[in-house]
Structure 1
Amino acid sequence: MRMKLWLYLILSVCFMLAVGFLYYSSWRISLRVWVHKSLYDEQGFLLKLDGTLSLELTYKYGNLSKGACKPGFAAAKMTAIYPKFNKLAPVFLDLNYKRFAKIGDYPPPFGVKSQERIIDHLLSVTKNYGLGENLDIISCKTCIIMGNGGILINKSLGQQIDGFDVVVRLNQAPVKGYEKDVGSKTTLRITYPEGAIQKIDQYEDQSLFVLSAFKAQDFKWLRYMVFKQGLNIPTLGTVAITMALHNCDEVAVAGFGYNLNTPHAPLHYYEKISMSAIKESWTHNIIKENKFLRKLHQTRKPRNKKTCQRAPGSSPPLQTDTVKTLHCQDHQQWMMGHQDQFTCC
């Protein structure tokens, strides 16, 4: 009996010691984590942003001639204020991008989740996965990122900007006509579909187009552009027609039709853009849209030859021999007048 009592006592003491040790250890761990995290802000930057480099790097860069490119300097300074920075992490996707397992865990713009098939297709025809041979061989590259702010006006920085090895521009920022202030050189032009230049001839020769994909649709857009599959986005006019067919009993259209045989005719009634501009669209397939409208027109049926009823205060009635009816769906109808002027009766 006495042995059992001692045994219970020893077990109780051991249990209390174990609990105490675990409690103490967890407190110490929490304290260390708290102390460690207190060195950084919520983004992972050091709270003390002095950017001090190691003595070795300070000596290395200090011995370079004035104005010489400093190899690895930007990465070293970045690491000094953001220790998680890893220069070896690739910026551009290549055929081995799946070696980074986490890249497939997040959707764009933070990963490529559900986009692997499209990306594989694009990379299969990509000629270079870096900046290109002429730049990749440079051991120390100087780069400048050009913003589009008005602060550049009348600063005459163009010549200085062009002196960098790599000049990066954003979206549709023009160069021609602004060379004095922004330079004439473009190495990379980073954009996303909505901000891209729509006319191919406006892209600079020898420059690289860099897509910054923010959403899944952006990869599809790039595939369409590369493989000429992208002319599938309807004009708003066609969208409106489709909407009307689903919501109206009678549908009339006016001002439609792109006559590519008259390239100098106005594209729109309210601006001076010519008809030829529509051929340069990256997103709209005007030929297919014309075929779509033509099919609707070709399936029209003549109405009975009678005069349309005239509403009070309206224009003189149209004779039905100048009006054709197209039965699209159930009670939905299209009426077309002469000379591509659409009306309804």
Structure 2
Amino acid sequence: MVWYSIYREDSFYFPVQENNKTMCPLGEVEKKAAQLIGNYTRDHPLFLQLKDYFWVKTPSLYELPYGTKGSEDILLRLLSITHYSLPESIQSLKCRRCAVVGNGHRLRNSSMGDTINTYDVVIRLNNAPVHGYEQDVGSKTTMRLFYPESAHFDPRTENNPDTLLVLVPFKPMDFQWMETILNDKKRVRKGFWKQPPLIWDANPEQVRVLNPYYMEVTAAKLLNLPMKQPRKVKQKPTTGLLAITLALHFCDLVHIAGFGYPDSANKKQTIHYYEQITLKSMAASEHNVSHEAVAIKRMLELGLVRNLTYF
């Protein structure tokens, strides 16, 4: 049973009782997701597979980040040293209960750590730390979505040994960065908005490349963004909204925590639980956070996802 209460005006808060572990609403996510996402399907693989790039029968319609058009050669090399499968421990679950953990300030002093650790699958974002914050954010990480500029310089310190490190490719240089790192070739230093790690000690067997299909769904179906945008007006989904979209395509229960930004009038409130960065830092980004907030609120209204913190 889940309680619903209004934390504040326009907020959605669903504290989850312990006995939710015994309940599995099989089919509910698919049914509700179809109301929000046109042509919703679970037929697309989560991660890119090598076999699909030896002979591409259906070339991708879009370039990155919404497709792989023009990046097939580098993908052949990268996918030959990474993997694509889900761990058997997840694949065999009769019910996949997932928590998508955002990086929001509202996780600070939330004491949500133990609750987050009870989920079968815990998805985290970018370089958000775990050590030192376990009481609020938990210690379990099943998947971590990231791109080169947001990669933690030492992925072994903030993840479990079996954590899947999922590359979210925004541009061809992201593939090149990963390939040079894993093959210990001469590092790529140009083509990034911020210098990514030059040393990134990760086990290639734990690395996956996210299928750009999910970025396309997030942009086109949830944010109504055109797939081809003028260079000066480009907008892209955040990794957080992308992670929720991914969860909606392979989980039977999706709960979120740490999502939402401070009110725009609150200039001094930090946006992350682990660093002193304010909303001002988002001004130059290619993300429309208010647009994304509307999409998440719609999911909450439909009961498609539930919130462990307020939004």
Structure 2 length-normalised TM: 0.51
Which residue of structure 1 lines up, in the alignment, with residue 100 of structure 2? 145
Q: After superposition, what is the alpha-carbon deviation per residue over 1:184-209, rounded to whole angstroms, capped at 9, x for unaligned? A: 10111100000000124324221110
- In the alignment, the residues of structure 2 paired with residue 146 and residue 103 of structure 1 have an alpha-carbon distance, to the nearest angstrom, of 34
Q: For 1:109, which of 57, 65, 73 is the aligned residue?
A: 65
Q: 1:103 to 1:176 in 2, by over 3 A?
A: farther
Aligned length: 173
Query: Residues 156 and 181 of structure 1 are in contact (CA less than 8 Å); yes or no, is this contact kept in structure 2?
Result: yes
Query: Residues 221 and 230 of structure 1 are in contact (CA less than 8 Å); yes or no, is this contact kept in structure 2?
Result: no
Counterpart of 1:78 in 2: which secondary structure?
Answer: helix
Which residue of structure 1 lines up, in the alignment, with residue 135 of structure 2? 180
Q: After superposition, what is the alpha-carbon deviation per residue over 1:253-285, rounded to whole angstroms, capped at 9, x for unaligned? A: xxxxxxxxxxxxxxxxxxxxxxxxxxx8428xx
Q: For 1:120, which of 73, 76, 82 is the aligned residue?
A: 76
Which residue of structure 1 lines up, in the alignment, with residue 110 of structure 2? 155
1:76 aligns with 2:34: no
Q: 1:188 to 1:103 in 2, by over 3 A?
A: farther
Q: After superposition, what is the alpha-carbon deviation per residue over 1:284-309, rounded to whole angstroms, capped at 9, x for unaligned? A: xxxxxxxxxxxxxxxxxxxxxxxxxx
1:212 aligns with 2:174: no
Amino acid at match of 2:28: F
Matches within 5 A, 1:262-277: none
Query: Residues 103 and 110 of structure 1 are in contact (CA less than 8 Å); yes or no, is this contact kept in structure 2?
Result: no
Matches within 5 A, 1:1-345: 67-97=22-52, 104-126=60-82, 128-204=83-159, 205-233=161-189, 281-282=198-199
What's the Cα RMSD here? 2.4
- Point out where structure 1 has 5 or more consecutive residues left out of the alignment: 1-64, 235-279, 284-345
Deviates more, 1:144-153 or 1:117-126: 117-126
Q: 1:69 to 1:203 in 2, by over 3 A?
A: same
CA drift at 1:183: 0.4
Q: After superposition, what is the alpha-carbon deviation per residue over 1:220-263, rounded to whole angstroms, capped at 9, x for unaligned? A: 111112211253438xxxxxxxxxxxxxxxxxxxxxxxxxxxxx
Amino acid at match of 1:138: L
- In the alignment, the residues of structure 1 paired with residue 119 and residue 155 of structure 2 have an alpha-carbon distance, to the nearest angstrom, of 25
- In the alignment, the residues of structure 1 paired with residue 116 and residue 56 of structure 2 have an alpha-carbon distance, to the nearest angstrom, of 35
Counterpart of 1:104 in 2: which secondary structure?
Answer: coil
CA drift at 1:104: 2.3
- Point out where structure 2 has 5 or more consecutive residues left out of the alignment: 1-19, 191-196, 201-311
Query: Could you say which structure has the higher helix fraction?
Result: 1
- In the alignment, the residues of structure 2 paired with residue 230 and residue 206 of structure 1 have an alpha-carbon distance, to the nearest angstrom, of 28
Segments ≥4 residues shifted beyond 3 Å: 96-103
More relative contact order, 1 or 2 (CA 8 Å, 6+ apart): 2
Q: Which has the larger radius of gyration?
A: 1
Aligned residues: percent identity?
A: 36
Q: 1:150 to 1:210 in 2, by over 3 A?
A: same
Query: Residues 71 and 139 of structure 1 are in contact (CA less than 8 Å); yes or no, is this contact kept in structure 2?
Result: no
Query: Residues 107 and 136 of structure 2 are in contact (CA less than 8 Å); yes or no, is this contact kept in structure 1?
Result: yes
Structure 1 length-normalised TM: 0.46
CA drift at 1:94: 1.0
